[in-house]
């Protein structure tokens, strides 16, 4: 304990104390450690009050009131994320009747063309003439030429022959639109058409 500093010097353990601060010196002394009782800066005090107000609001809203729990917030975020994901169809197929009634709809065919240009050109050619995959404009089909056959093959693919399953990446509407588009290029006889493959299909619809 060293109480002598207080009375006769301007130093406190080697630290200089300004004469203006002397009045602020508290009388306790912890093993030579002294304290100046400075007034806290205004901004600091207001920050403290703000955190107090915030904590009252926070506990009121989240703990007592109607504020969402972390689980509810998570569920909300997950719903938002799910909504942003592209629609999936996981192999689900459009109804045969709605498929047939959609044929000939030009706006559906145009949308189907957009999907086709994004996903199918690489293997079936820009006009459906066929490259790696078969010609989609002729009357010959390996897996059947009925709209339901086409929809099914597009959805489930023929993975062992290099045709990917598209169902998981297409909404039922997009799948229908693709079938409508493929139907619309039937008989278009594009340049460079690939030789016929499969059986001749007689459309009766």
Cα–Cα distance for residue pair 22/19, rounded to 1 Å: 5
132 contacts: CB under 8 Å, gap ≥ 6: 122, 123, 124, 162
Q: How far is the CB of 94 from ligand HEC (least distance, A)?
A: 13
Place of tokens 């949308």: 111
Q: How far is the CB of 193 from ligand HEC (least distance, A)?
A: 13
178 in Cβ contact with 115 (< 8 Å): yes
Q: Which positions from 148 to 177 touch ligand HEC by CB under 6 A, shown as an x/- string?
A: --x--xx---x--xxxx-x-----------
Instruction: For ligand HEC, give the closer residue by CB, 79 or 110.
Output: 110
Instruction: For ligand HEC, give the closer residue by CB, 102 or 120.
Output: 120
Q: How far is the CB of 185 from ligand HEC (least distance, A)?
A: 11
Considering only residues 113 to 152 of the shown chain, the ones binding ligand HEC according to CB under 6 A are: 116, 119-120, 122-124, 132-134, 136, 141-143, 150
155 in Cβ contact with 93 (< 8 Å): yes
Instruction: For ligand HEC, give the closer residue by CB, 5 or 103.
Output: 103
Three-point CA angle 114, 119, 125, nearest 5°: 85
Burial grade of 4 (CB within 10 A; 0-12, 13-18, 19 or more): exposed
Q: How far is the CB of 62 from ligand HEC (least distance, A)?
A: 48
Instruction: For ligand HEC, give the closer residue by CB, 73 or 114.
Output: 114
Considering only residues 58 to 117 of the shown chain, the ones binding ligand HEC according to CB under 6 A are: 116
Instruction: For ligand HEC, give the closer residue by CB, 36 or 158.
Output: 158
Q: How far is the CB of 200 from ligand HEC (least distance, A)?
A: 11
Q: How far is the CB of 83 from ligand HEC (least distance, A)?
A: 23
Q: Which residues pair with 21 in a beta bridge?
A: none
Three-point CA angle 169, 129, 131, nearest 5°: 70
Instruction: For ligand HEC, give the closer residue by CB, 5 or 194.
Output: 194
Three-point CA angle 23, 26, 32, nearest 5°: 120
Phi, psi of 161, rounded to the nearest 5 degrees: -105, 5
Residue numbers at the binding site for ligand HEC (CB under 6 A): 116, 119-120, 122-124, 132-134, 136, 141-143, 150, 153-154, 158, 161-164, 166, 178, 197-198
């Amino acid at each position: 304990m060293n109480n002598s500093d207080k009375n006769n010097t301007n130093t406190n353990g080697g630290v200089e104390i300004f004469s203006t601060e002397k009045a602020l010196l508290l009388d306790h002394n912890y093993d030579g450690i002294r304290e100046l009782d400075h007034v806290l800066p205004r901004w600091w005090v207001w920050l403290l009050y703000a955190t107090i107000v915030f904590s009252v609001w926070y506990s009121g809203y989240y703990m007592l009131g109607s504020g969402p729990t972390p689980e509810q917030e998570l569920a909300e975020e997950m719903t938002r994320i799910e909504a942003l994901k592209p629609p999936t169809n996981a192999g689900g197929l459009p109804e045969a009747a709605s498929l047939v009634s959609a044929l000939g709809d030009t706006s559906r065919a145009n949308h189907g063309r957009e999907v086709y240009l994004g996903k199918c050109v690489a293997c079936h050619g820009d006009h459906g003439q066929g490259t790696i995959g078969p010609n989609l404009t002729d009357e010959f089909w390996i897996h059947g030429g009925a709209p339901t056959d086409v929809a099914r093959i597009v959805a489930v693919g023929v993975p062992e022959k290099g045709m990917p399953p598209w169902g998981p990446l297409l909404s039922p509407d997009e799948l229908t639109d693709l079938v409508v588009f493929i139907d619309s290029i039937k008989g278009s006889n594009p340049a460079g058409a690939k030789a016929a493959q499969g059986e001749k299909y007689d459309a009766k619809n």
